Structure 1
Amino acid sequence: MRNPKDTVVSWHHFNRKLETSIDAEHVTPWDEFVHRFLDGKVLLGDFYDHALGWWQMRDDPHFLFLKYEDMNKDLSGAVRKIKDFLDISLDDVTTASIVESCTFANLTSAWADSGNQTKTLLARKGAIGDWKNSFSESQNKAFDAKYRERLEGTGLQFDFE
C-alpha cells in the first residue's frame, strides 16, 4: 500500500502514459484527475475502500500488509518481514541479492528491458513526498480532510515524507 497523495500522482502519470499510448481523444488533466480520485471515480475505484479492505486483513496469518514508504525506507527490513511471513531462511548473500534486485533503480531497469509494454509504463520516480511537486494548497487540504474522514480511528496511517 502507498500513501494516497503519492498514489494519486503516480496513478495520474500512469494514466496519462496509458491514454497517450492508446491515442485517447482526451488525456485527463491533473485537476480533473485529483477530483475524480477523491470521489473514488478512477479506474479500480476508491483508494480508501481498497486500502481499508486490505487493512482489515492485517491480522490474518495468511496475509502480509506492507507499505511502500516502509519498504522504501528499509528494504532489508521488508525482505526480512517477507522471509518471516513465508517462514523461509536464506543466507545473508542471497538476502542481500534479493534486496539489491528489488531496489527501484534495478526494477525499473529490468522492466524497461522486459519488452512488456505495461511494465514500461509503470515506474516513474518511486519517490516518497513527490506529491508536493504537484499539489496545490487546496488539493492538499482536500486530501488531508479525506484522509482524516476515512482513516481516523482505523489504525492505518501513512507517511507522506
Structure 2
Amino acid sequence: MSSETVQAKMQSRMARAQEMREEEKIFRYKGVLYPTIMSPLENLKAMEDLEAREDDVMLVAYPKCGFNWTVGVLRKIIDASTGEKRDSKMPPVIEFFDPGMQQRLSQVPSPRFLGTHMHPDNIPPSFIAKKTKMLVIFRNPKDTAVSFYHFSTKNPVLPTPESWDKFYTEFMSGDVPWGSYFDHAVAWEKRMDDPNVMIVTYEELKEDLCKGVRQISQFFSFDLSEEQVQAIAQDSTFDAMKETSKDSHGPLSNVFFRKGVVGDWKNHFSEAQSEAMDAEFEKHLAGTKIGAQMKYELYCK
C-alpha cells in the first residue's frame, strides 16, 4: 500500500472522527476499551481467527512505548536481511485491519511483518500455537503516560483528554484504549522465559541502538553484517525516523513522533502523582524480571 493511500485512509478516518461525539470514539470489548474508528468490533472479532505463521515477525507494544519507532527499525532490518525493499507504509497493527484486509494477509509473502497493541491474552491464539516469535517493547510507565496523553490530545480518533490530571487518573485505572499498562506488564512477566518472546525497553534502545539492532536481528534469525547494523542504527535515531515519517505519515508525523526523549514525565507529574505511580509499580512489578529490566529507579525517580 503506497504512502499516498495510507495518508488518504488516515485523513478519511480523521474526518470521520471530527463528526463523532467524544463518548462514541471508544467502546468496550471483553472489558477493555478500544478506539471505534481504528479497531471496530468487526476487526477484533475477525482477528480471533487470524492464522499466524511460524516465520511471522511480530512486534508488540502497549500504546506509546516506542512502537512506531521500532516499526522503522524492524523494517530496515528485514529489508537489509532479505535484500528486498517492501513498499508497504501501512502501520502493521492487526487490530486496525478490517476483515477483508485480514483475509488478504494469507497472500502476503513471508516473512510477514505484523504488530499489535493487544494484551498478550488477547493476541490471536494461532500466534502462540505456531510459536511465532514476538518482540515486545516496553517503556517506563511515567513517560508512557505522558506520551499517551499528548497523543490523545492531537489524535482526533481518540477521546480528547479534559486535562492532564483527568487523563492521569484514567491511565492509572486502566480506562484508556487497550487497557491497563500494568496489566500488560504483569502478563508479559509470565512469559519472560519463553524463547519465542523477547522483551526490549525503549530506554535500552535509546542507550545503545546498535546493540538493540544486533539483538533484534539475532532473535528473528536475520543475518546482518556489522556494517549493516551500524547503518541501520544511524538511520534509525528518533530524529531520523521523525524526518522520514513526513513521507509515510504526512501531516500526522508530529502526532506519531513527538519528542522521543526519556524523562519528559518530570514536566507533567505532580509529586503526589509521581508517588502514586511509584506505589503502583511497587505493587505490581517490584521483584519481577520485567520490573528490573525497566530500571525504574533510574528513569522514574
- Is this contact kept in 2: 1:55–1:65, CA < 8 A? no
In structure 1, the partner of 2:224 is: 90
User: Could you state the TM-score of these two structures normalised by the residue count of structure 2?
Assistant: 0.49
Counterpart for residue 31 of structure 1: 165
Q: Relative to structure 1, is the Cα distance of residues 22 and 70 closer, same or farther in structure 2, using a 3 angstrom cutoff? A: closer
- What's the CA shift for 1:23? 9.9
The more displaced of 105-114 and 116-125 is 116-125
Which runs of 5 or more structure 1 residues have no equivalent in the other structure? Answer: none
For structure 2, list consecutive stretches of 5 or more residues without a partner in the other structure.
1-137
Q: Which range moved further: 45-54 or 138-147?
A: 45-54
Give the number of aligned pairs: 158
Identity rate, percent = 36
Q: 1:150 to 1:22 in 2, by over 3 A?
A: closer
- Alignment partners' CA distance in 1, 2:167 and 2:191: 29
Q: TM-score, normalised by structure 1?
A: 0.88
1:55 Cα shift?
2.9
Task: With a CA cutoff of 8 Å and minimum separation of 6, indicate the structure with the bigger relative contact order.
Answer: 1
From 134, 138, 149, the equivalent of 1:12 is 149
Q: Structure 1 residues 38 and 98 mapped into 2: Cα distance closer, same or farther (>3 Å)?
A: same
1:126 and 2:260 equivalent? yes
Distance (whole Å) between structure 1 residues aligned to residue 189 and residue 285 of structure 2: 11
How far did 1:123 drift? 1.4
SS of the counterpart of 1:64? strand
Task: Quote the Cα distance in structure 1 between the aligned partners of 2:183 and 2:273.
Answer: 20
Instruction: Mark the CA change 1:117 to 1:70 in structure 2 (over 3 Å): closer, same or farther.
Output: same
Distance 1:54 1:101 in 2: 30
SS in 1 for 2:150: helix
Tell me how large the CA RMSD over aligned residues is.
2.0
Deviation, structure 1 residue 155: 2.3
Contact 1:8 1:37 in 2 (8 A): yes
- Note if 1:55 corresponds to 2:189: yes
Q: Give the number of the structure whose alpha-carbon radius of gyration is greater.
A: 2
